[in-house]
C-alpha cells in the first residue's frame, strides 16, 4: 500500500490519480460525540469511549482502528469553531458541543438555571441554551446569542483578535517542527462569512439584520476577514498547508437561507480576498462544509475557488453523482453517501457504496464519507462493513475489526 503522502493527496485533488482516493478521518469522517462510546457496547475498542472530536486526525485510536489515511488538521490553531474548547460536561452526565466560534478567550461555560428536565447554560461562545438532562449528549435549543446589537457586537469583537496568544500553541517552533515533519495533508480552518455570524447573532435576528442594519453585518464579516487573513499568513509563513476549511452551514433541506444575490453582495468579495491569501500560501484545495441543499450556492463557491464540497446531504436532495456530471472533475466532492442507507443493513450499505463510489473515483477527485457526521444510530458493524467496502474498491486488504 502506498503511504498517504501529501503528494498523493494533491494528485488526487488535481484529478491526476483517477481511481485512487483517500479514506480520511477528520474533517471528512467525523463522528457525533455519542457515537463512539455507544459503539463500545457493539464491539468497538474500549478506547473509543474516551476519544474526543479534536483527537482524531492527531492521530487517535479511531484513526488507527479504521486505518484512516493520515491527515492532520491543525486542531491546536484556533482559527475556527474551537478556541481550545469542544465538548463540555455541565453537570455529571450532561454534555453538549461547546464550540467557541472564533471567540478567544472563550466565555466561561456555566449553568445558570436548572429544572427537573433541563439545564439552561451559557456556552463558550456566550450562547445561552437549554439542554435536556436525560441525554448524555445534547443538541440544544438556543435561547439567546451574544451579539444582539452594536453595543454587544463591540464587546464580542474584543474576542476576535488574531494575535491573541492562546490561538496558537505555546511552543510554536516545536509545533511547527512536528507538523512539518509529517508527510500527510495538513489542513487549517479559515472561518466562514455566514456560519459564524449566524452563531453569534442567531438565525432569525441575522435574517432581519441583513435588511435592518447591513453595515453591522459587513463589519462582522470584515472582522472575520481580518482575523483569518492574519492567521493564515502567520501559520503559512511556517507551516506547509495542503488544504483549508470553511464552515458555513447556510442551507437547509430545500436550499440556502439567503439568496444568491445576497451571497454575491456580501460574501463573494470577502471569499475572493481570503482565497487570494490562501492561494499565496500555495494552497488550491479549499474545502467548504455546508449542510443542506447547496445547489444554488455551489456555482458561486466555484467562482471564487472553493472547490471541495462536503457533506452533500442526500435527504436534502444532494446527489454526488449528479454533481459530478454537472461540474466534471473540476470539483472535489466529499461525502454524499446516504447515512440512512448506511444505517439500514449490510445490503443497503453495499448498494449505497457501490452505486456511487466507483463512479465518483473514476471520474474525478472524491473523498468518500457518510453525508454528515456519523450518528449514534449507525450500527458499528455497518460502519466496519462500509470501511472494508471502500478498501475493496481501492484494492486494499480488508481489515479485521474483531477486538
Partner 1 sequence: MNRNAVLTALQTAVLDGDQHETGRLVQVALADGSPPEKILSEGLIPGMQRLGELFKDGHAFLPEILISVRAMSRGLDELRPHLSGAATPDNGTVVLGTVEGDMHDIGKRLVGMLLEGNGFAVVDLGVDVSAEAFTEAAREHSADVVALSALLTTTTPQFRTVVEALSVAGLGETVKVMVGGAPVTQALAADVGADGFAPDCVTAVDEAARLVAVRRGT
**Where does this chain bind partner 1 (CB under 8 A)?**
117-118, 130-132, 135, 138-142, 203-204, 207-208, 210-211, 252-259, 262, 291-292, 296, 313, 315-316, 339-340, 343, 375-377
Helix axes 320-327, 346-363, angle to 10 degrees: 10
Distances 97 to 59, 82, 124, 147 between C-alpha atoms, Å: 21, 10, 10, 20
Shortest spacing between CB 339 and partner 1, in angstroms: 7
Shortest spacing between CB 182 and partner 1, in angstroms: 36
Closest Cα to residue 214, out of 262, 251, 144? 262
Shortest spacing between CB 50 and partner 1, in angstroms: 22
Shortest spacing between CB 289 and partner 1, in angstroms: 15
| Closer CB to partner 1, 252 or 359, in the complex | 252
Shortest spacing between CB 35 and partner 1, in angstroms: 11
Residue 228's contacts (CB-CB under 8 Å, 6 or more residues apart) are 79, 162, 190, 191, 274, 277
| Closer CB to partner 1, 313 or 352, in the complex | 313
Shortest spacing between CB 139 and partner 1, in angstroms: 6
Shortest spacing between CB 7 and partner 1, in angstroms: 38
| Closer CB to partner 1, 63 or 371, in the complex | 371
Shortest spacing between CB 12 and partner 1, in angstroms: 30
Shortest spacing between CB 142 and partner 1, in angstroms: 7
| Closer CB to partner 1, 11 or 34, in the complex | 34
| Closer CB to partner 1, 176 or 207, in the complex | 207
What are the cell numbers at 355? 452505486
Shortest spacing between CB 227 and partner 1, in angstroms: 25
| Closer CB to partner 1, 138 or 229, in the complex | 138
| Closer CB to partner 1, 142 or 272, in the complex | 142
| Closer CB to partner 1, 303 or 377, in the complex | 377
Cβ–Cβ under 8 Å, residues 218 and 266: yes
| Closer CB to partner 1, 149 or 377, in the complex | 377
| Closer CB to partner 1, 74 or 290, in the complex | 290
Work out the burial of residue 265: count CB atoms within 10 Å of its CB; fewer than 13 is exposed, 13-18 middle, 19 or more buried.
Answer: middle
Amino acid at each position: 500500500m502506498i503511504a498517504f503522502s501529501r503528494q498523493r493527496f494533491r494528485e488526487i485533488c488535481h484529478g491526476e490519480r483517477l481511481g485512487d482516493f483517500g479514506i480520511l478521518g477528520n474533517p471528512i469522517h467525523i463522528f457525533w460525540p455519542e457515537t463512539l462510546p455507544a459503539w463500545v457496547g457493539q464491539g468497538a475498542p474500549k478506547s473509543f469511549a474516551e476519544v474526543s472530536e479534536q483527537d482524531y486526525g492527531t492521530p487517535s485510536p479511531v484513526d488507527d482502528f479504521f486505518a484512516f489515511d493520515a491527515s492532520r488538521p491543525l486542531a491546536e490553531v484556533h482559527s475556527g469553531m474551537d478556541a481550545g474548547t469542544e465538548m463540555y460536561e455541565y453537570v455529571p452526565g450532561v454534555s453538549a458541543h461547546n464550540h467557541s466560534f472564533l471567540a478567544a478567550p472563550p466565555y466561561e461555560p456555566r449553568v445558570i438555571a436548572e429544572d427537573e428536565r433541563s439545564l439552561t447554560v451559557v456556552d463558550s461562545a456566550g450562547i445561552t441554551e437549554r439542554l435536556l438532562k436525560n441525554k448524555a449528549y445534547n443538541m440544544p435549543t438556543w435561547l439567546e446569542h451574544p451579539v444582539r446589537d452594536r453595543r454587544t457586537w463591540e464587546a464580542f469583537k474584543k474576542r476576535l483578535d488574531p494575535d491573541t496568544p492562546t490561538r496558537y500553541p505555546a511552543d510554536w517552533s516545536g509545533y511547527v517542527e512536528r507538523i512539518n515533519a509529517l508527510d500527510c495533508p495538513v489542513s487549517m480552518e479559515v472561518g466562514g462569512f455566514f456560519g459564524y455570524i449566524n452563531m453569534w447573532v442567531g438565525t432569525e435576528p441575522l435574517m432581519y439584520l441583513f435588511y435592518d442594519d447591513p453595515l453591522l453585518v459587513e463589519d462582522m464579516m470584515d472582522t472575520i476577514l481580518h482575523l483569518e487573513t492574519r492567521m493564515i499568513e502567520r501559520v503559512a509563513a511556517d507551516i506547509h498547508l495542503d488544504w483549508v476549511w470553511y464552515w458555513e452551514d447556510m442551507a437547509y433541506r430545500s436550499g440556502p437561507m439567503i439568496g444568491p444575490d445576497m451571497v454575491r453582495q456580501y460574501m463573494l468579495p470577502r471569499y475572493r480576498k481570503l482565497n487570494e491569501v490562501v492561494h499565496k500560501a500555495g494552497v488550491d484545495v479549499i474545502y467548504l462544509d455546508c449542510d443542506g441543499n447547496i445547489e444554488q450556492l455551489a456555482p458561486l463557491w466555484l467562482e471564487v475557488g472553493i472547490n471541495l464540497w462536503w457533506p452533500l446531504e442526500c435527504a436534502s436532495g444532494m446527489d454526488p453523482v449528479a454533481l459530478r456530471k454537472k461540474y466534471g472533475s473540476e470539483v472535489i466532492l466529499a461525502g454524499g453517501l446516504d447515512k440512512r442507507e448506511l444505517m439500514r443493513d449490510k445490503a443497503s450499505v453495499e448498494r449505497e457504496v457501490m452505486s456511487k463510489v466507483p463512479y465518483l473515483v473514476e471520474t474525478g477527485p472524491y473523498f468518500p464519507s457518510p453525508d454528515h457526521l456519523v450518528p449514534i444510530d449507525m450500527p458499528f458493524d455497518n460502519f466496519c462493513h462500509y470501511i472494508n467496502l471502500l478498501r475493496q474498491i481501492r484494492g486494499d486488504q480488508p481489515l479485521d475489526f474483531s477486538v
